[in-house]
């Protein structure tokens, strides 16, 4: 396949279809469907090396996609149940949270091999990478905490108690805050990364899953699985300022890198909802494929 015209694309994992839908965000149209491993869930797109990394918990592997050609490069065996996945900003390392081995696997993007593991808590879920690539942040669902990990030393620096069953983790653009969605306590923990402490706990909808920062408006958008909504939090006041109805069982969420838009993967409706962050309203729904989850950072070029 020839290289596609440059642009911003959304890569949406479809757990029921064993593929990734590629959306051209210039016109919000599907341009490709890429077969990956079995029951894909997590996604991490690297602009540094034009690749997308997909976690496939059922086939116990990570799929690597060429985002220039929208083709599968390779499937790599990883652990017993890879779910959360993130790539550093340099595009050199991918971090994979293994649900059953209670560890973070480190994938070297050049050799496309696993080069190490870091033991963490029980059922690690979400992962976020600090803007300077020095730390990663991992939520441990069954321990109700978040761990701060030194990447170079490959060791846990701090363990922070949060709400019940933490899942999605988002780091602010400045790197000074972490946002942790606590599924079973239906709230959000805000952590100050300077002293690794919880500075606020904010009630949201039922079973929050993940979040995305809108730094232009100083807001955070949180998907609520059981409400089929997105909560909008004003970060200056710490208050919910809007609840937006989206598709059924929303999970993955990400902020468009250049446009005032938030994209939400609606797992049970097989679509993506597009929210205008200026008006805080849904402006578009795009059909994808069966079981769209898109857990992670899913925007990238080409």
Average pLDDT, the chain: 96
Task: Check pLDDT > 80 for residue 26.
Answer: yes
Task: Supply 227's token pair.
Answer: 């409400």
CA distances from 77 to 10, 61, 91 (A): 25, 4, 20
Question: 10 has which bridge partners?
Answer: 23, 299
User: Hey, what are 21's tokens?
Assistant: 């839908």
Q: How many CA atoms lie within 13 A of 212 on its CB side?
A: 28
Integer Cα distance of 64 and 56 in angstroms: 11
Domain 1-119: CATH class, spelled out = mainly beta
Q: pLDDT tens-digit profile of 100-109? A: 999 999 999 9
Q: What is the pLDDT of residue 4?
A: 47
Q: For 131-153, b where at least 16 C-beta lie within 10 A, e where not — what string?
A: eeeebbbbbbbebbbbbbbebee
- pLDDT tens-digit series, residues 210-252: 999 999 999 999 999 999 999 999 999 999 999 999 999 999 9
Round to whole Å and give the CA distance between 266 and 291: 8
Query: What's the pLDDT tens digit per position in 260-276?
Result: 999 999 999 999 999 99
235 CB-side CA count, 13 A: 22
Residue 62 contacts residue 92 (beta carbons within 8 Å): no
User: Token digits for 284?
Assistant: 């578009």
| Residues 67 and 11 sit within 8 Å (Cβ to Cβ) | yes
pLDDT in tens, 45-61: 998 989 999 999 999 99
Distance CA 57, CA 78 (A): 9
Cα separation, 239 vs 14, whole angstroms: 33
pLDDT at res. 6: 60
Instruction: Give residue 44's Cα distance to chain centre.
Output: 7
Burial level of 194, CB count in 10 A (0-12/13-18/19+)?
exposed
Domain coordinates in residue numbering, the chain: 1-119
Question: Token match 């051209």: residue?
Answer: 24
* pLDDT of 75 strictly over 70: yes
Q: Which 3 state secondary structure label does DSSP give 174?
A: coil
Name the pLDDT band for 162 (thresholds 50, 70, 90).
very high
């Amino acid at each position: 396949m020839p290289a596609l015209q440059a642009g911003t694309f959304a890569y949406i994992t479809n757990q029921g279809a064993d593929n990734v839908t590629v959306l051209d965000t210039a016109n919000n149209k599907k341009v490709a469907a890429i077969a990956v491993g079995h029951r894909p869930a997590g996604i991490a797109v690297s602009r540094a090396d034009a690749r997308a990394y997909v976690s496939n918990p059922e086939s116990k592997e990570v799929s690597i996609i060429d985002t220039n050609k929208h083709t599968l490069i390779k499937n790599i065996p990883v652990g017993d149940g890879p779910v959360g996945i993130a790539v550093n900003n340099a595009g050199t390392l991918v971090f994979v949270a293994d649900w059953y081995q209670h560890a973070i696997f480190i994938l070297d993007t050049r050799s496309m091999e696993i080069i190490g593991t870091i033991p963490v808590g029980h059922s690690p879920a979400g992962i976020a990478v600090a803007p300077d690539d020095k730390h990663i942040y991992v939520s441990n669902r069954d321990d109700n905490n978040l761990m701060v990990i030194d990447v170079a030393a490959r060791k846990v620096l701090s363990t922070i108690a949060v709400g019940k069953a933490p899942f999605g983790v988002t780091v602010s653009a400045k790197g000074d805050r972490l946002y942790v969605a606590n599924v079973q306590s239906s709230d959000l923990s805000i952590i100050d990364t300077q002293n690794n402490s919880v500075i606020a706990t904010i009630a949201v909808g039922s079973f929050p899953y993940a979040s995305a920062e809108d730094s232009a408006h100083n807001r955070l958008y949180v998907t609520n699985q059981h409400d089929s909504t997105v909560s909008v939090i004003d970060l200056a006041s710490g208050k919910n300022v809007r609840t937006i109805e989206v598709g059924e069982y929303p999970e993955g969420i990400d902020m468009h890198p250049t446009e005032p838009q938030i994209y939400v993967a609606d797992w049970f409706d097989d679509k993506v909802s597009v929210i205008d962050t200026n008006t805080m309203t849904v402006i578009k729904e795009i059909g994808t494929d069966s079981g769209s989850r898109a857990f992670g950072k899913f925007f990238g070029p080409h």
